[in-house]
Structure 1
Amino acid sequence: MATSVHLVSKAGVFQEMEARQHRLTADEPENNHGTDKGPAPYELLLASLAACSSATLRMYADRKGWQLGTITADLRFKRDPEGNESIERTISFSETLSEEQMARIRDIIEKTPVTKTLKRGTPIATHFA
């Protein structure tokens, strides 16, 4: 589990980040003052949730000897006119699962680490150096 990310921002909204030995970028689309050189921050948030969801389900299924086939995750961030935010997550498998397996999958998906972090509204402490 990554415990830190280092970010350097030199100008505009284009961002370069490092997580362990991996380099990532983030940007905004051109219609939102960016240069579209990378995913937007909310897209990275959704990607984190999708990756954690899929990886957790895969690890669980592998332990149980279940065949999931290809996992597909489609996520959408929504904000209604009142400012209420939500994420819609649709998960599908190329293999057919029994109702018992799907019931367990429905339980496990709500317990994935990133799901739990987002749902509990983890406090953020900000410090300026």
Structure 2
Amino acid sequence: MKQTIQIVSERNRIFRQQVQIEGFEDLYVDVPKAYGGEGSAPDPHDFFDLSLGACKAITAQMYAQRKKWPLEGISVTVNRDDSEEQKGIYRLEVVMTFHGIEDAEQRARLEEISHKCPIHRLMTSATVEVTTRSADVVEA
């Protein structure tokens, strides 16, 4: 499935970006004030990290639903350590709480299943190819 996401600078010379994805409104990306942004929206790293946490939660929920386990909800905390990012090491710790699941084996299985979410696999085992090119400016 192909999807197009458009990113448009919202304000001249300010880093805040408006994200345009079909069917969604009011999505923005910004840079923290420490880097010259307004800090008015999550930064690109936040979206990277949250995509992992959300995908793991959704994958575990889907599995529990198929198994008819009494999962009432999931809380996920993603802890980022980017202190060595410039050396090529970016660490994410994901802590998951499975509400309504008392059985330790079921909790362990849900954690194991979360490792199979598409974003976890993409981040840890896929080859991602990025092509960047400039486009001509079209005046309206």
TM > 0.5: yes
Alignment partner, residue 128 of structure 1 = 134
Contact 1:48 1:114 in 2 (8 A): yes
Shift of 1:41: 0.9
Counterpart-to-counterpart distance in 2, 1:77 and 1:18: 26
* Conserved 8 A contact 2:60-2:111: no
Q: Give CA deviations for 1:105-127 in whole Å, capped at 9, x if unaligned.
A: 13211110111111125222222
In 2, Cα distance between equivalents of 1:2 and 1:37: 29
Distance, in Å, in 1 between the alignment partners of 2:41 and 2:83 is 25
Give the counterpart letter for 1:123 in structure 2. E
- Whether the 8 Å contact between 1:76 and 1:89 is mirrored in structure 2 is yes
Q: Report sequence identity in percent.
A: 26
Mapped partners of 1:60, 1:31: distance in 2: 41
2:61 is equivalent to residue 55 of structure 1: no
SS of the residue 1:123 aligns to: coil
Where do 5+ consecutive residues of structure 2 fail to align? Answer: 136-140
- Output the TM-score relative to the length of structure 2: 0.81
Separation in 2 of the partners of 1:114 and 1:43? 14
Q: Which has the larger radius of gyration?
A: 2
Would you say 1:118 and 2:120 are equivalent positions? no
Name the SS of the counterpart of 2:49 in structure 1: helix
Contact 2:7 2:17 survives alignment (8 Å)? yes
1:8-27 to structure 2, matched below 5 A, reads 8-9=8-9, 10-23=12-25, 24-27=27-30
Asked whether the 8 Å contact 2:71–2:98 carries over to 1, the reply is yes
- How far apart in 2 are the matches of 1:87 and 1:75? 7
What is the count of residue pairs matched by the alignment?
129
RMSD: 1.9
* Unaligned stretches of 5+ residues in structure 1: none
